[in-house]
Amino acid sequence: MDWLKEALFVREMAMENNRMFGDALPMIASENILSPLCKEMLITDFHGRYAEGNPGKRYYQGCKFFDEVESKAIELAKILFNAKYADVRPTSGTVANMAVFKAWTKPSDKVTVLDTADGAHISFGKWGAAGLRGLELHTYPFDSEAMNIDVDGAIATIRKVEPKLALFGQSVFLFPTPLKELADAAHEVGAKVVYDAAHVLGLIAGGKFQQPLKEGADVMTGSTHKTLPGPQGGVILANKTRDESQDMKYLDWGVFPGVTSSYHLHHVAAKAIAFAEHLAFGKQYAEQIIKNAKKLAEELYNHGFDVLGSNHGFTESHQILFKVGKEKGGEAAQKLEEAGIIANMNMVPGDEHPMRPSGIRLGVQELTRLGMKEGEMEEIAKFFKRVLIDGEEPAKVKKDVVEFKKNYRKIHYCFYEGEDAYEYIKLVQK
Ligand code: DSN
């Protein structure tokens, strides 16, 4: 075998991927593009280094500059989220959730949670991290007309089950959770309140979604690469310091040695920069994301799509969810990809099989970061109509999508904005 050829094949695929996304409308609600400064951090020497523990208290030598970086990331996260406690070590939102489970539960403890078909993340499900910890799951009822938790029903569930943790936050997340009332009920029975903010972290930080830490959450977990447009990774935030509570010490140990040894140092550096950028631009970015999501949802609805949440203004987040016919989500997502629109099939309330869902979930956070506003959402809704309602040949629509996208490759809402977001940076020129 020619091993160089094998290696260059991988590089060619990465370049093709850059080209594909550069030409497409990327609308997966959990993704985003990196700012130039964040990108730079990913190819620094931090990438190959180890750190265990906390700044100033390390097992490994050689951490003095990284200690500065991690301390800065923590400081900026605390300012951004108005929190007293920030842990930037989790390598993903799932790892952040695992750390909470490790710290605050034992196997067979009871937790209350939304069903994944109603929008909960897989890490809160029996096949994910909650199952791995051996937790006993009790689901809240869901109001699929309002696309939100049924508050009275959920309060009754919490009172009956008396869980160790009451879990909130969603991966399909159109509207804020009525957290205050639910957190009061959870605290009454001695449960801790965990809010998974992965999808809406950037909207919360921009002050445009609910503020879970003010509404009763004991801890907020999140991922740093969705509406908070940093590197792939996780974060944990809370309002008590390690010194104020033994529970917070357990949380610290839940991350290390609980679910990490070293963590991704280059990503921590990029997180720090993403937090600084969000402090500078997050408010305007979050505001435009929500305007765009509302506009796109409305346009799709007017074109005849069965958009969920229609009696409630469709969405208050970056997401839109619409039904495409019983178990037809996969087929629709495939046609959209052939037309250059990258989105995912998604379960909608009532679906039973995760691999045969009936909906499409969209997110507008990446399109917004490329400078798109409400006018562009009108154009994009027309592409959806051509593919999924008019039944036009996807390849024909793709030509127009590629042409449309040519004007939207530059990144906004960050330092050094205006750089091409999809350019492949070659370090080896040969
Ligand atoms: N499952 C991812 C999503 O919501 O797309 C998040 O981890």
pLDDT given for residue 429 in this prediction: 81
pLDDT at 137 over 80: yes
- What is the overall mean pLDDT for the chain? 97
Is the dihedral angle over the CA atoms 91, 94, 95, 100 positive or is it negative?
positive
**Residue nearest (by alpha carbon) to ligand 1 atom 6:** 30
CB atoms near residue 391 (< 10 Å): 9
Q: What are the residues whose beta carbons fall under 8 Å from the beta carbon of 48, sequence distance 6 or more?
A: none
The answer to whether the CB of 30 is under 6 A from ligand 1 is yes
Residue 92 maps to a domain: yes
pLDDT given for residue 85 in this prediction: 98
In a mutational test of the pocket of ligand 1, which residue from 27, 28, 30 has the highest number of ligand atoms less than 8 Å from its CB?
A: 30
CB atoms near residue 120 (< 10 Å): 26
**Residue 202: pLDDT band with limits 50, 70, 90:** very high
Closest ligand 1 atom to 171 CA:
4
Cα 34 to Cα 78, 81, 236, 330, 355: the distances in Å are 21, 20, 21, 28, 30
What tokens does 72 get? 């800065």
The answer to whether the CB of 319 is under 6 A from ligand 1 is no
Q: How far is ligand 1, taken at its centre, from the CA of residue 223, in Å?
A: 10
Identify which of 203, 209, 195, 196 has the alpha carbon closest to the alpha carbon of residue 228: 203
Phi, psi of 196 (to 5 degrees): -90, 105
Residue 232 maps to a domain: yes
Residue 147 maps to a domain: yes
**Residue nearest (by alpha carbon) to ligand 1 atom 4:** 171
Q: Is the pTM of this model over 0.85?
A: yes
The percent helix, strand, coil of the chain (3-state, each to 5) is 45, 15, 40
In a mutational test of the pocket of ligand 1, which residue from 199, 235, 366 has the highest number of ligand atoms less than 8 Å from its CB?
A: 199
pLDDT given for residue 54 in this prediction: 95
pLDDT at 117 over 90: no
The answer to whether the CB of 171 is under 6 A from ligand 1 is yes
- Please give the Cα distance from 14 to 230 (Å, whole number): 20
Q: What are the residues whose beta carbons fall under 8 Å from the beta carbon of 324, sequence distance 6 or more?
A: 306, 331, 332, 358, 359, 360, 388
Percent of the chain with pLDDT over 90: 97
Phi, psi of 230 (to 5 degrees): -105, -155
Residue pair 8/429 in contact (Cβ under 8 Å)? The answer is: no
pLDDT at 430 over 80: no
Q: What are the residues whose beta carbons fall under 8 Å from the beta carbon of 147, sequence distance 6 or more?
A: 119, 174, 175, 308, 309, 312, 321, 349
**Residue 290: pLDDT band with limits 50, 70, 90:** very high
**Residue nearest (by alpha carbon) to ligand 1 atom 5:** 30
Range 320-349 average pLDDT: 97
Residue 158 maps to a domain: yes
**Could you list the residue range(s) of the whole structural domain that residue 161 is in?**
39-275
Residue 306 maps to a domain: no
Q: Specify the CATH number for the domain of residue 90.
A: 3.40.640.10
Range 176-181 average pLDDT: 98
pLDDT given for residue 52 in this prediction: 94
DSSP 175-208: S---HHHHHHHHHHTT-EEEEE-TTTHHHHHTT-
Residue 304 maps to a domain: no
pLDDT given for residue 277 in this prediction: 98
The answer to whether the CB of 116 is under 6 A from ligand 1 is no
Q: Residues in the chain, how many?
A: 430
- The mean-pLDDT minimum among 75-79, 234-238, 350-354 falls in 350-354
- Structural element, H or E, at residue 129: helix 129-132
Residue pair 176/316 in contact (Cβ under 8 Å)? The answer is: yes
**Residue 15: pLDDT band with limits 50, 70, 90:** very high
Q: How many structural domains are present in the chain?
A: 1
Q: Is 354 helix (H, G, I), strand (E, B) or coil?
A: coil
- Please give the Cα distance from 123 to 89 (Å, whole number): 18
Residue 64 maps to a domain: yes
**Residue 320: pLDDT band with limits 50, 70, 90:** very high
Q: How far is ligand 1, taken at its centre, from the CA of residue 151, in Å?
A: 24
Identify which of 252, 364, 316, 283 has the alpha carbon closest to the alpha carbon of residue 80: 283
pLDDT given for residue 97 in this prediction: 98
Residue 428 maps to a domain: no
Identify which of 214, 207, 158, 206 has the alpha carbon closest to the alpha carbon of residue 186: 158
